[in-house]
């Protein structure tokens, strides 16, 4: 640790609350660093890797394990730092430094999640969801359908996350930013919890970090909101003031560099979000809601007719940008679609996607438009090879 200045105002004997705050800040930083700590232990051979899950969702076994590792690391570092401060009777700036890092991380995450909603990519308005009774959707899909129904409301949610991200970057507005972030992330966490959305670790982490930052002004907030008394100005000095003159310049310089790096990452993420938004707006030749009028299944070395009551008969097929759904009364399967690189005008790759966003192997589907309202498809759905003729349902493309 850098040497503290000799001013007694900045070097008081650490109180119990200061030591507790040191531990809490270390635990918060441990959670932030959890994925990197997990990878570091793997690279050193101190941990056996868990099975990889091909998923764009969260709450995987590896993420739960990394969370426990981060919490354990934070407790060890925090308790160790608190004990040394207690024994030396000197208050370090370690908690303030860790809190500054937490601020940058939380601001970055809020920027990224907010931008995905501002560009309306997190909750796409899908014909497949609108045409499916809510009872047939998972709780997560019901929530996604609700938020995605109104593009303007989705953007409102996004700006609600970007606002605290901006406020957190300035010391004078950090408490306000933490307050707004707490309200926003509490709502997100509760939705994820009760609608079984598979990003509980992320939203719970952001809520806990916002509460930790808000707790830095707990005494002043209690005086103002609960006791209805004037709150005294914040007396805690800026983190850089804990260091010597050279240390202050170094810390401020590092702070500027880290902030610029964070904003660069946010900018890169926003570019990716905009590219994804353009991808979602694409109109492929198969785009539309299609109703099956004829189906055949390959069996006994020939194509055999399939009855409309058979479980392999897809009542409807939905193709919307990179999303596809095949469903009937027995099944509802989701896919990611992408044109085949060798035959983009004839073949689509359908990648099965579970409700937890776990992906299967790509399967090629041949397609041909037999007129503006007729689509012919041939491919494999689960265990059956099918040949389908479908008619467009423009009334369901709202």
One DSSP character per residue, 140-206 reads HHHHHHHHHH-HHHHHHHHHHHHHHHHHTTSGGGHHHHHHHHHHHHHHHHHHHHHTT-S-HHHHHHH
Closest by CA to 170, choosing from 82, 77, 100, is 100
CB 137 within 8 Å of CB 72? no
Share of the chain above pLDDT 70, in %: 95
**Confidence at 326, pLDDT banded by 50, 70, 90:** very high
Question: Region 72-90: what's the mean pLDDT?
Answer: 95
Per-residue pLDDT at 70 exceeds 90: yes
Give residue-wise pLDDT tens across range 291-311.
Answer: 999 999 999 999 999 999 999
- Residue 14: pLDDT band by 50, 70, 90 thresholds? confident
Q: How far apart are CA 147 and CA 175, in angstroms?
A: 29
List phi, psi (to 5°) of 47. Answer: -145, 140
pLDDT for position 317: 97
Distance CA(183)–CA(179), nearest Å, equals 6
pTM, full prediction: 0.88
Give tens-digit pLDDT for 220-261. Answer: 899 888 998 888 777 666 788 888 889 899 999 999 999 999
C-alpha 335/C-alpha 31 separation (Å) is 33
* pLDDT(2) > 50: no
Q: Mean of the pLDDT values across residues 319-347?
A: 92
C-beta atoms surrounding 56 within 10 Å:
11
**Rounded to the nearest 5°, which phi and psi values hold at 315?**
-55, -45
pLDDT at 100: 96
Q: Residue 57 above 90 pLDDT? A: no
Rounded Cα–Cα distance for residues 51 and 65 (Å): 12
pLDDT at 235: 64
Question: Distances in Å between the alpha carbon of 122 and those of 19, 113, 114, 134, 377?
Answer: 40, 8, 9, 19, 29
Asked if 44 and 119 touch (Cβ cutoff 8 Å), the reply is no
Q: Mean pLDDT over residues 71-92, rounded?
A: 94
Q: Which of 51-60, 348-357, 383-392 has the lowest mean pLDDT?
A: 51-60
Grade residue 54 by pLDDT with cuts at 50, 70 and 90.
low
Give the model's confidence band at 1: pLDDT under 50 very low, under 70 low, under 90 confident, else very high: very low
Domains and CATH numbers, the chain: 8-280 (no CATH), 288-396 (2.40.128)
Distance CA 230, CA 207 (A): 27
How confident is the model over 154-189, as pLDDT tens digits? 999 999 999 999 999 999 899 999 999 999 999 999
pLDDT score at 8: 42
């Amino acid at each position: 640790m850098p040497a503290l200045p000799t001013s007694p105002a900045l070097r008081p004997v650490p109180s119990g609350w200061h030591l507790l705050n040191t531990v809490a800040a270390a635990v918060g930083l441990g959670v932030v660093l959890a994925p990197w700590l997990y990878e570091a232990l793997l690279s050193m051979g101190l941990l056996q890797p868990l099975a990889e899950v091909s998923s764009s969702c969260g709450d995987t076994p590896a993420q739960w394990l990394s969370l426990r590792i981060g919490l354990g690391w934070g407790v060890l570092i925090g308790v160790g730092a608190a004990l040394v401060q207690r024994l030396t009777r000197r208050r370090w700036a370690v908690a303030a430094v860790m809190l500054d890092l937490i601020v940058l991380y939380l601001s970055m995450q809020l920027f990224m999640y907010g931008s995905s909603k501002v560009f309306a990519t997190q909750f796409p308005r899908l014909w497949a969801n609108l045409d499916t009774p809510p009872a047939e959707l998972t709780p997560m899909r019901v929530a996604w359908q609700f938020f995605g129904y109104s593009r303007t409301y989705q953007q409102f949610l996004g700006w609600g996350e970007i606002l605290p991200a901006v406020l957190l970057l300035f010391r004078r507005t950090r408490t306000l930013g933490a307050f707004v972030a707490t309200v926003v992330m509490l709502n997100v966490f509760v939705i994820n919890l009760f609608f079984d959305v598979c990003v509980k670790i992320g939203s719970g982490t952001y809520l806990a970090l916002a509460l930790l930052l808000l707790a830095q002004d707990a005494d002043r907030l209690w005086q103002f909101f609960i006791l209805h008394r004037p709150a005294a100005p914040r007396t805690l000095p800026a983190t850089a003031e804990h260091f010597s003159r050279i240390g202050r310049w170094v810390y401020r310089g590092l702070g500027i560099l880290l902030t610029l790096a964070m904003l660069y990452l946010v900018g890169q993420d926003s570019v990716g979000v905009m590219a994804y938004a353009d991808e979602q707006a694409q109109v492929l030749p198969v785009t539309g809601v299609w109703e099956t009028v004829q189906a055949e299944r390959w069996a006994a070395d020939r194509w055999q007719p399939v009855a409309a009551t058979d479980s392999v008969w897809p009542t409807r097929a939905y193709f919307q940008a990179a999303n596809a759904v095949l469903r009937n009364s027995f099944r509802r399967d989701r896919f990611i679609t992408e044109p085949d690189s060798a035959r983009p005008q004839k073949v689509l790759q359908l990648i099965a996607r579970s409700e937890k966003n776990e992906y299967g192997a790509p399967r090629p589907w041949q397609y041909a438009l037999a007129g503006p309202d007729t689509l012919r498809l041939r491919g494999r759905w689960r265990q059956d090879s099918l040949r389908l003729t479908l008619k467009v349902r423009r009334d369901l493309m709202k």
